[in-house]
Structure 1
Amino acid sequence: MLLRRSQQMQRMEKRTEFPREALDALRPHGADQREYDAPIGTIWGKVFDHLPAPLKSRLVDWASARPRIAENFANYIKAGFLFASPVIVELYGWYVTFERGLADDEKHANVQRRYRKFLDFADLQIPNSLLLKYFSSAIATFEQLCTKIIDHEVDAWDKGWRTLTTLSSPAWYASGESSHRQHLILGFNSPFYPNTLIATSVFQEGVNLHLQCRKVHHYGIAWTPGDNEQRVGRIDRLFGKVNSLLQRQGPDMSALEINYPYLKDSFDEDQVGSFIERKYAVEDKMDRCTQGDFDREIRLNRSGWEVFLRTPVPDAVLSDPYPASFGRD
C-alpha cells in the first residue's frame, strides 16, 4: 500500500504544468475569460420577470419569510413540470428551434455564450407560453390546494409530491371502482395533469374540483335539477377559477360554461330537452317562491326546448310574493 502511494506521488510530481497561454489556446472559439466569471441566469429567472406583480410578491414572501413553503413549492413545480405537464416538451421545442437557427460557427462557439443566447431566445417565447401559464396558476393556487383540497401541509417541504409523478395522461376517468380518486382530485385541482376529468356520479357530491376548471359537460343527465346543481357545484364554488376570473375580468369574460351534448333527432335529445325545460321551470318557481305541477309527458318530437339553453342575463326585478307587513302597535 505504501509503495503504491509513493509511486502515485512520484507520477504527480513528474506532471508538467501547462502555461496559461496553452490553456487559453484550448478554449472554444471566441471564448472570453470574463464571460466565465459572469453570473449565468436561468429560465426560472426569466419567468419571474414576466409574472404579475402579486405573484412576484408572493414568491418573494415565501423565499424571505417562509422558506419551508418556498422549498415545498419548488418540489411541487419540479414534479408537475417533469411528469404531469407538456412544459418540458415545450422547452425542448424552443431549444430545437434555437439550435436550427444558429449559424455553423455559432454552434461551435463558447457553450456559456450559446446558453445565454438561448435564454434571450426563450425570454421572447415566455409571454405566450404554457410554462408561464402553468407557473402562474401554480403560484396562485398552491396554498389553497394544500390547505383546502388535499392532506399536504403547505410547509411540508420534506413530504414530496410522488402523486404527480403518476399522472402522466392529460385525461383520466373516475368511477366507483377507481382506487386513486384522491390522486385525481389533486391533479385536477393543480395546473398539471389531468386537464380533463371524466367521472360518474362518484364525484357528484362532497368533492372540490374548482381551482383550475370552469367548464362542465353533462354527458349523462342527472335525475333531478338538484342533482344537476350538485354536479355543477363541484366547479362553481367560492375561491375557484370561476370566482377568480370574475374578480379580475368581470362577468363578460369569465362565465361558467355548462354544456349538454346530445344526439340530434334521437331519444337522447328528448331526454335533454325534457330535463332543460324542467330545470327552467324549477328555477323559475324557486325565484318566484311558487309551486306547481311538473310536466310528466314524454314527447318524442319535442321542439323549441333550445330556447331554455340561454346565456344568463341580469335578473329581472321580481316582486316579493310574501311581503312582510308591520302593523302599528
Structure 2
Amino acid sequence: MEKRTEFPREALDALRPHGADQREYDAPIGTIWGKVFDHLPAPLKSRLVDWASARPRIAENFANYIKAGFLFASPVIVELYGWYVTFERGLADDEKHANVQRRYRKFLDFADLQIPNSLLLKYFSSAIATFEQLCTKIIDHEVDAWDKGWRTLTTLSSPAWYASGESSHRQHLILGFNSPFYPNTLIATSVFQEGVNLHLQCRKVHHYGIAWTPGDNEQRVGRIDRLFGKVNSLLQRQGPDMSALEINYPYLKDSFDEDQVGSFIERKYAVEDKMDRCTQGDFDREIRLNRSGWEVFLRTPVPDAVLSDPYPASFGRD
C-alpha cells in the first residue's frame, strides 16, 4: 500500500529531466482568461463579477459552457496555437531554454497584444452577453435551476456536423446556432418556420424557396427578428445606421425562380400597404410569368421615417 501511495511522486521524479529547475516560485502565474477579462467592455466585466460573487452557480455553468465551446466547437484553440507557434519562433535560442515560468509569462504578454482583435475576445464577449438568454429562452430553464450539462457542444466539433436533418439532431443544432460556436449557418425547411428561436447570434435570413404567403414569410423572418436578439443588441450599441436585419431572396435570373420571387414581392407589397391601413384585399396563389418590372415593389428602408397612423385615436368628452 505504501508503494502504491508513493507511485505518482516516483513517476514524476523519473520523468523530470536531470538538472531541471526545481526552485519554488512565490509570484503568482496569470492565465489567458485574466488577460481577456482586462479587455472586456465594462458591462460584461460587471456581469462576470456579479455571477462570481452573487450567483456562483451561474458562473460555474458559464465556465463549463465556454470550455466546451472553445475546445470543441470554435476556431479559438487554433488561434491560440497559432499565437504559441509565432511566439516560439520569435524566441532567441537562449530564451527557448530559459526558465519555464519566465517563458510562460512572456507568452502571456505576447498574447495580451493579440487579444484586442482576436476571435478569442469576440467569442468570449458574445458568450457572456447571450448566456442568460440562451438558458432562459432556448434551454427553457429557470434562473435558479441552471444545471444543464454542455456536452452537446462537444458534438458540434465541425461546421458540417449534424447536418443530416434527422429530428434527433434538431435541438443540438438550435443550441449551437444560438451560441457563438458552431454551426454558424443553418439551412432549414419550413419545419423551423414556427415556434423556434434562432435569434441570439443571427442577423441574416436567406429565403431560397419562397413562402407562398406574406404571413408565412413573416413567420420565417420572425425566427430572427426578435427582442434581445443579435439585431436588437446591435441597434442598442451601434444605432440604426450601423446595424440592420438583412433579408435576401436569391434566385436564378431569367428562370422560374425569378417568376416566383417577382410574384411574391409584388403580392407582399400590396398586402403590406393594406395591412398598414387595417384593410384586406383579394389574395391568390398565381405565379405571374412576368420577369420584368417587379423590382419596383422592393422597399428601401428609410432612416428615421415618421409613419402616420391611418386611424388615429380620438377622445371625446363622454
Deviation at 1:152, TM superposition (A): 4.6
Residues 235-285 of structure 1: CA distance to partner in whole angstroms, max 9, x if unpaired?
000111111111111111110011111111111011111111111111111
Sequence identity percentage: 100
| CA shift in 2, pair 1:227/1:80, >3 Å | same
Give 5+ residue unaligned stretches, structure 2. Answer: none
Deviation at 1:153, TM superposition (A): 5.2
Residues 294-327 of structure 1: CA distance to partner in whole angstroms, max 9, x if unpaired?
5766443421222333331157666655556677
Taking the aligned partners of 1:250 and 1:197, their CA distance within structure 2 comes to: 27
Deviation at 1:171, TM superposition (A): 4.5
Residues 106-147 of structure 1: CA distance to partner in whole angstroms, max 9, x if unpaired?
212111111111111111111111110110111111111111
Give 5+ residue unaligned stretches, structure 1. Answer: 1-11
| CA shift in 2, pair 1:225/1:109, >3 Å | same
Q: How many residues align?
A: 318
Taking the aligned partners of 2:219 and 2:6, their CA distance within structure 1 comes to: 77
Contact 2:254 2:291 in 1 (8 A): no
Residues 152-206 of structure 1: CA distance to partner in whole angstroms, max 9, x if unpaired?
5556676421111111122467787421211111111111111111111111000
Q: Report the TM-score, using the length of structure 1 for normalisation.
A: 0.83
Contact 2:269 2:298 in 1 (8 A): no
| CA shift in 2, pair 1:85/1:224, >3 Å | same
| CA shift in 2, pair 1:328/1:15, >3 Å | closer
Taking the aligned partners of 2:212 and 2:172, their CA distance within structure 1 comes to: 28
SS in 2 for 1:216: strand
The answer for the alignment partner of 1:241 in structure 2 is 230
RMSD over aligned Cα atoms: 4.7
Contact 1:174 1:181 in 2 (8 A): no
Contact 1:190 1:212 in 2 (8 A): yes
Taking the aligned partners of 1:288 and 1:60, their CA distance within structure 2 comes to: 49
Deviation at 1:287, TM superposition (A): 1.0
Taking the aligned partners of 2:161 and 2:293, their CA distance within structure 1 comes to: 35
The answer for the alignment partner of 1:9 in structure 2 is none
Structure number with bigger Rg: 1
Deviation at 1:36, TM superposition (A): 2.9
Contact 2:156 2:162 in 1 (8 A): no
Deviation at 1:18, TM superposition (A): 22
Contact 1:72 1:154 in 2 (8 A): no
SS in 1 for 2:194: coil
Contact 2:212 2:285 in 1 (8 A): no
Taking the aligned partners of 1:19 and 1:288, their CA distance within structure 2 comes to: 79
Deviation at 1:29, TM superposition (A): 14
Higher mean Cα deviation, 284-293 or 208-217?
284-293
